[in-house]
Amino acid sequence: MAARHFLTLLDFSPAELDQVIDNAIALKKSWRSGETRDSLKNRVLAMIFEKASTRTRVSFEAGMTQLGGAALFLSPNDTQLGRGEPIEDSSRVISSMVDAVMIRTFEHEKIERFASTSRVPVINALTDQFHPCQLLADMQAYRERRGSIRGATVTWVGDGNNMCASYINAAEQFGFDLRIACPEGYEPDAKLLAENAERVTVIREPEEAVRGAHLVATDVWASMGQEDEQAIRARNFAPYQVNPRLMAMADPDAIFMHCLPAHRGEEISEDMLDHKSAVVWDEAENRLHAQKALLEFLILGA
């Protein structure tokens, strides 16, 4: 049987996503109560990082260890991937030795190529186009705080980037309405928007977009690989900062999320991570448990 992959949220059904999140909540409880678990004993995860990471690396590596398995950190600097070995050849070899592969890279097409010749599940740990693992943690955090997100209004403020694209996929899979407030020229992919027109709207004015929202989320203005655009983006995105004044226009019980790392004074005000609506530290901690639930689902089967 062909391996299941997790390249975008659309690779799982809504019921499967719910199952992973339920398990993530259960794993968090059991970890916090000191229980040990060896569901992935002797299993190995290969982790290929072509971009920097704190949360993703620590959560996958610690997660495999907590489940009794092991994780290998592979960087292009010291593997043949960095010296031009074809992705498909690397995939055939690596996937013949491990139980799952996690990849953080630039072009989304690269992980699709890797997955096409992989014998084992491939996980998207962020590409320029999507960041589905972060959405598992975000949806877990929403459920823990507010229950089901179905029918809620979510507002994305800022760049139409990889996180925004995964929020668009999440709107479809979890059944919420998504408003996107971004400057002209920084919209998400037009095809993705058109495919999700029923649930997703672009609203230029951040104040109008957050009105009555149950969840407000944002991310950096310049993503990894866009460092050269930092100055121009800082100017173009200036009206799109999330701060207590903007949050005051959302629903009184609205929560605020940011996948981190954050730039205080840019996409968020200095005080936003400490605002009563902010759940960013839960969101980050949830990466650990969401990753473990995802690994169990993919390696052990549903």
Residues marked as binding for carbamoyl phosphate? 53-56, 80, 104, 131-134, 259-260, 287
Q: Do the Cβ atoms of 182 and 203 come closer than 8 Å?
A: no
Residue nearest to ligand CP (CB): 56
Write down the least CB distance from residue 259 to ligand NVA, Å.
5
DSSP code per residue over 213-278:
-SEEEE--SS-TT-GGGHHHHHHHTGGG-B-HHHHTTS-TT-EEEE-S---BTTTB-TTGGGSTTB
Interaction of residue 259 with ligand CP, rule CB under 6 A: yes
Answer for which of 90, 95, 129, 134 binds ligand CP (CB under 6 A) is 134
Tokens of 142: 């929403």
Question: Residue 287 catalytic?
Answer: yes
179 sits near ligand CP (criterion: CB under 6 A):
no
Residues 22-61 that bind ligand CP (CB under 6 A): 53-56
Q: Among this protein's residues, is 19 annotated catalytic? A: no
Q: Could you tell me which residues come within 8 angstroms of residue 240 by beta carbon, excluding any fewer than 6 positions away?
A: 157, 158, 181, 182, 183, 206, 218, 221, 267
d(C-alpha 134, C-alpha 117), whole Å: 25
- Name the site residues for ligand NVA (rule: CB under 6 A): 126, 161-163, 219-220, 223-224, 259
The residue (of 118 and 161) whose beta carbon lies closer to ligand NVA is 161
Q: Residue 272, class by beta-carbon neighbours within 10 Å (0-12 exposed, 13-18 middle, 19+ buried)?
A: buried
Residue 169 in tokens: 């996929």
| Number of residues near ligand CP (by CB under 6 A) | 8
The least CB distance from residue 1 to ligand NVA, in Å, is 32
- Alpha-carbon span 30 to 171, nearest angstrom: 29
Residues in the chain: 302
Tell me whether residue 131 is one of the annotated catalytic residues: yes
- Does residue 75 belong to the site contacting ligand CP (CB under 6 A)? no
> Beta strands 215-218 and 255-258: pairing type?
parallel
- Residue nearer to ligand NVA on the CB measure, 66 or 223: 223
Query: Of 245, 246, 161, 155, whose CA–CA distance to 201 is shortest?
Result: 155
Among 72, 260, 262, 273, binds ligand CP (CB under 6 A): 260
Q: Which residue's CB atom is positioned nearest to ligand NVA?
A: 223
Active-site residue identified among 138, 159, 219, 282: 219
Which residue of the set 131, 143, 258, 289 is catalytic? 131
Q: Verify whether residue 164 is a known catalytic residue.
A: no
Among ligand NVA, ligand CP, none, residue 249 binds (CB under 5-8 Å by kind): none
| Catalytic center residues | 104, 131, 134, 219, 259, 287
